[in-house]
Amino acid sequence: MPTSIVTANSMLAIDIGAANTRAVLFDVIEGEYRFVASGIAPSTAESPIRDVSEGARNAIQALQGILKRNLLDVSRNLILPSQPDGSGVDALVVTVSAGPAVRTLVVGLLKDVSLESARRLTESTYTRVIDSVSLGGQRKPEQQIDTILRQRPEMVIIAGGTNGGASRSVQKLLEPIGLASYLLPEEKRPAVLFAGNDQLVDEVKALVGSLASHLHFSSNIRPSLDKEDIPPAESELAQMFIKIRKKQLKGLDVLDLWAGGHTLPTAFATGRMVRFLSNVYGSQKGLLSVDLGASSTVIAAGFKDKSVLKVYPQFGQGENLTGLLNYTSLEDILRWSTLDIPPTAIIDFLHQKALYPATIPATKEDLVIAQSVAKQALFLAMLEARKDFPKDAAFIKPTLTPLFDPIIAGGAALSDASRPGQSLLLLLDSVQPVGISTVILDQNNLMPLLGAAGSVNNILPVHVLETGAFLSVGTVVCPVVTAKYGATILKAKVVYDTGAEANVDLKYGFLEVLPLGSGESGKLTIQPARGVDIGFGPGRGVKNLQINGGALGVVFDGRGRPLDMPSDPVRRRELIKKWDWTLGGG
């Protein structure tokens, strides 16, 4: 990389999460941008402080303590730009996921067409759909008005009408929304995003323009019946989300001012980074990022021609946890547990963690419960996200997870696990990857920050990615197979750079590990048994595949896809303990 394109500018990135606020410094070292250090402090969106800038200042202060360099002045304002004495930074970017999910009303002409597209659009940021309205609905206009007044949506997303198509129907849908907004006090009026028929812009302005807190337009997310185009609207929605958050979260306007408007929703910034990386990697396989945070679980996937961003507040590990049982059963959470835990302990855990999202497991039993809950939440999020993965993605079987490489995992539940093996088992069980993938742990939760940084400096993410800011867990090999427990399903060999070899016979139902440390590389040869697919077709292997090492090395997951778990709970717990032990557990 020529150094001439590196401007010697330092950049501070702040992520305001539901539980924690992180301040991360990127700076130029030896002609390249590097992740320097990060400081962390509890977020202060909530009472009694209710000012997110305080948590940000505290995180910067923690960072100052590590750097032994002043970033804040005596009034605790950020020193911008950097000074000759080395204090301050040259730029700031901010990402935010803190705050309750935005109450959203979705409006579409046809239930299965534009309404469904509008619903999919809401899943690209931190929203909770409180109601939906379509032409086929049974409610009278006055009932729609009463519902809006009762539920007080903070955001309305309107889709519908193909470009050049009929306009009268869309107008009919907008009337009750305009009337309801008119009846709401001005400070309670919702922000409106119109992502429908391009030719209706003037009419939408006339009908709801003066009655919305903000009115945004994006290109039609359903330009024709058989075509959906969500990404441009995602960008508009991200801007709208930040405007709503600036109203809700005191102090965000100050941070946004310091950042010169470079404030993004955390999930959107992650999505940007995934799009960027999938362009860089340019592989036939997809690229997957999962983030298991307190406010939500975020799945971002990049494919050859499409990216998918899914934000699931209902699967977050914080205040929404009490609602998890609306989507799953206790038995399905308990199936991941290595201990015989009474179901009531899970219910109590969900309620207590929802009350105190920032708390962490201090005992082994509490950690087992937390990991079981996290695993089930990520499993459910992946199931949901898979519905919107492109049909032409690289699959071994369309009913399984597509082929991804790499898989990047972040968020407190993953990066705070006590050891990489624990994080990896959580990922293998919930994401259930197939084929051969590199697994990377975003232990400093840099993905969204790099996504935001890229909006100011597009070289910075490239440089930082090439350094050791991310923890490579290793290469995982996950064959697709159904066999008898204990049957050999593949033979594999790793040839190290030293010329030494390590071999493994993988049996169905087992996990195996071959060592290959961080910074090391090797050549992997796999010969699958008949019918076993590792991504090259049934029974077809690979020779001398260049792979890089990681904290765990090369991990072979012979447990079948979908994951084959014994129904007997005692046997299942024994096996999970064994798997955990294989990945470094005690």
3-state secondary structure of 191: strand
Decide if residue 256 touches other proteins (CB under 8 A): no
Decide if residue 367 touches other proteins (CB under 8 A): yes
**Cβ of residue 363: shortest distance to other proteins, in angstroms?**
5
Decide if residue 418 touches other proteins (CB under 8 A): yes
**In this complex, which beta carbon is closest to other proteins, that of residue 37 or of residue 89?**
37
* Of 280, 360, 383, 487, the one binding other proteins by CB under 8 A: 360
Decide if residue 362 touches other proteins (CB under 8 A): yes
- End-to-end Cα distance, the chain: 44
d(CA 545, CA 494): 9
CA atoms lying within 13 Å on the CB side of residue 152: 6
Decide if residue 72 touches other proteins (CB under 8 A): no
Stretch that binds other proteins, among 38-46, 156-164, 460-468, 504-512 (CB under 8 A): 38-46
* Of 388, 416, 512, 520, the one binding other proteins by CB under 8 A: 416
**In this complex, which beta carbon is closest to other proteins, that of residue 345 or of residue 459?**
345
Q: Which residues contact 570 (CB under 8 A, 6 or more apart)?
A: none
- Extract the tokens encoding 188: 């309670």
Give, for 332, the enclosing helix (H) or strand (E): helix 330-334
Decide if residue 581 touches other proteins (CB under 8 A): no
Pure H helices in 72-124:
114-122
Decide if residue 333 touches other proteins (CB under 8 A): no
Decide if residue 47 touches other proteins (CB under 8 A): yes
**Cβ of residue 438: shortest distance to other proteins, in angstroms?**
25
The pair phi, psi for residue 410, each rounded to 5°, is -145, -170
3-state SS record for 371-390: HHHHHHHHHHHHHHHHCCCC
Decide if residue 576 touches other proteins (CB under 8 A): no
Stretch that binds other proteins, among 44-52, 385-393, 505-513, 554-562 (CB under 8 A): 44-52
- Extract the tokens encoding 580: 């955990």
Question: What x-and-dash track marks residues 142-181 binding other proteins by CB under 8 A?
Answer: x--xx--xx------------------------xx--x--
Decide if residue 50 touches other proteins (CB under 8 A): yes
Which residues 513-572 are close enough to bind other proteins by CB under 8 A? none
d(CA 382, CA 356): 26
Question: What x-and-dash track marks residues 422-461 binding other proteins by CB under 8 A?
Answer: x---------------------------------------
Q: To 10 degrees, what angle do helices 343-355 and 364-386 make?
A: 80
**Cβ of residue 184: shortest distance to other proteins, in angstroms?**
10
Q: Beginning with the edge strand found earlier in the chain, give each strand of the sheet holding 191-194 in spatial order.
A: 127-134, 102-108, 155-158, 191-194, 215-217
Closest CA to 559 of 570, 546, 575: 575
Q: Work out the burial of residue 175: count CB atoms within 10 Å of its CB; fewer than 13 is exposed, 13-18 middle, 19 or more buried.
A: middle
Decide if residue 348 touches other proteins (CB under 8 A): yes
* Interface ranges with other proteins (CB under 8 A): 41-42, 44-50, 58, 99-100, 140-142, 145-146, 149-150, 175-176, 179, 182-183, 185, 248, 319, 322, 344, 347-348, 350-353, 355-356, 358-367, 416-419, 422
